[in-house]
Amino acid sequence: MLQAFANIFRIRDLRNKVFFTLGVLVIYRIGFWIPLLGVDQTELAKAASRASVDQSGFGRLLEYASIFSGGSLQQSTIFGLGIMPYITASIIFQLLQAVVPSLQELKKDGMSGQQKIMEWTRYATVGLCLLQGLMWLGFLRTQNLVQPQFQLGGGLVIFYVSGISALTAGSLFLMWLGEQVDKYGIGNGVSIILTAGILSRMPSAATWLIKNFDASLQGGDAKIGVVGLLILLAGFLFVVGGAIIITVAQRRIPIQQAKHTRGRKVFGGQRHYLPLRINHAGVMPIIFSSTLMMFPASGCAWLASRAAAVDASSTWSSITSFIAQNLQIGSYPYVVIEILLIYFFSYFWTTVQLSPTDMSKQLREHGSFIPGLRPGPRTAEYLETVISRITYVGAGALALIAIIPTIVSQQLGIPFFVAQFLGGTGLLIVVSVALDLVQRIEANLLMRNYSGFLTTGTNDSGPRIRSARG
């Protein structure tokens, strides 16, 4: 494996791609430290720290948003919105392609249709950036986290115009950087930037563990002992291994190609497989479920505080308080509802992305069939049954990985930014992006006759010209 890493820098083209990608990540982290005009960063950091401790709605919002923004939203930098507006717009158009006939036709047009959809996605990204930037700046103003000179009059106009412009330009610049990585770098640019934001919180998590570590066996006074640290390490390795397995796991259905005769020669008859991913939905179910579960408790807590200010004994105040208390992160109703939502969105996303009827038609058009099944409706019915069963297993694995950080954070008293590396959305994104990056580097190495990460041979001499005899 060490030899494979060394081989990366022997290939000029691959070396340039790797350095270009690293340079883009450096630019991304530099923008992480450029604050917005008018925001009181000191008061914002204090408010975020207090909210994170008492698990208020503001704290949960920041913790969830920081998973995708690298914590820059908490600091209100120009990259505060991160790459998520572009990802959200892409998800919206992927869902619309399944229900809007005009988008379906554009998808069938090939490259020209995809370019048109990509153009509309960029326009939607601008709209989402403007909306999210306005909401975030308005929230900061209502929480008195804006400097006094930008609270009223012309200063307020400057605050909104400069803030929205900076946040929108920052997200669009990250989108452009991701496209440049796709052209000149290695890997998927948007995914790599998103992964860099997630991994940027790892030093903070390590610092917290070091500060709260107790050399004793069991620990004490809210400290983590040797046993607790070993449990966390074992849990991390176990969850990472499980995430890798669920990401690459497939159900391979045997496919037989029909034989046909041309003259005296017989063609076809090969046997191959139709791979179906166990977790075809990826991290989408966890993202959707986490987003939906964040708002009921936060919204009801805000409504309860408003109702209590008017009449603490009112029915409305009691109902909102009850919902806010029972939907807190780590509570039993919260975990149950989150698992149900993950199952629902797993089936929903798989249904949108995979069509057994279309797969059956494609098999028939290519002269292939599943042994023992008649092409057409019978094959489509069989594929639908298989997809529903493997989706059930994949959703169960996703639900298990998703609830681990919540349970660990709630039961062991560990902050969420530390527990998030034991599972959840961030870990799945990091694992999937890392696997994709390794596969791309492996393909570049093998294409040039170098040993890859999984190659057992010792041939590292690079490409050579072979003679006609050998």
Examine the pLDDT at 445 and tell me if it is beyond 50. yes
pLDDT at 468: 44
With beta carbons less than 8 A apart as the criterion, state whether 345 and 393 touch: no
Cα–Cα distance measured from residue 448 to residue 426, given in angstroms and rounded to the nearest whole number = 34
pLDDT at 59: 58
Tell which wins on pLDDT, 328 or 392.
392
pLDDT at 165: 92
- C-alpha dihedral (63, 69, 70, 71), degrees to nearest 10: -50
Q: Looking at residues 434-458, what average pLDDT do you find? A: 76
Examine the pLDDT at 460 and tell me if it is beyond 70. no
Examine the pLDDT at 465 and tell me if it is beyond 50. no
Split at pLDDT 50, 70, 90, the class of 230 is confident
DSSP state at residue 368: E
Best CA proximity match to 268, nearest among 278, 255, 280? 255
With beta carbons less than 8 A apart as the criterion, state whether 442 and 15 touch: no
Structure tokens that stand for 172 in this block: 């669009």
DSSP, collapsed to helix, strand or coil, labels residue 369 as: strand
Examine the pLDDT at 195 and tell me if it is beyond 70. yes
| Largest distance between two CA atoms of the chain | 93
Examine the pLDDT at 278 and tell me if it is beyond 70. yes
pLDDT at 107: 79
Split at pLDDT 50, 70, 90, the class of 208 is confident
Examine the pLDDT at 82 and tell me if it is beyond 60. yes
Examine the pLDDT at 141 and tell me if it is beyond 50. yes
Examine the pLDDT at 31 and tell me if it is beyond 70. yes
Q: Looking at residues 84-111, what average pLDDT do you find? A: 82
Question: How many angstroms separate the first and last alpha carbons of the chain?
Answer: 29
pLDDT at 455: 62
Mean pLDDT score of the chain: 80
Examine the pLDDT at 194 and tell me if it is beyond 50. yes
The helix/strand count (H/E) of the chain reads as 19, 5
Distances (CA, A) of 371 to 179, 274, 304, 363, 385: 43, 12, 61, 12, 16
Domains and CATH numbers, the chain: 1-200+429-464 (1.10.3370.10), 216-422 (1.10.3370.10)
pLDDT at 60: 59
pTM beyond 0.85: the answer is no
pLDDT at 392: 92
Percent of the chain residues topping a pLDDT of 70: 83
Q: Looking at residues 341-347, what average pLDDT do you find? A: 89
Examine the pLDDT at 469 and tell me if it is beyond 80. no
Q: Is 351 exposed, middle or buried (0-12, 13-18, 19+ CB in 10 A)?
A: middle
Examine the pLDDT at 267 and tell me if it is beyond 70. no
Examine the pLDDT at 64 and tell me if it is beyond 70. no
Overall size of the chain counted in residues: 470
Q: Looking at residues 442-446, what average pLDDT do you find? A: 82
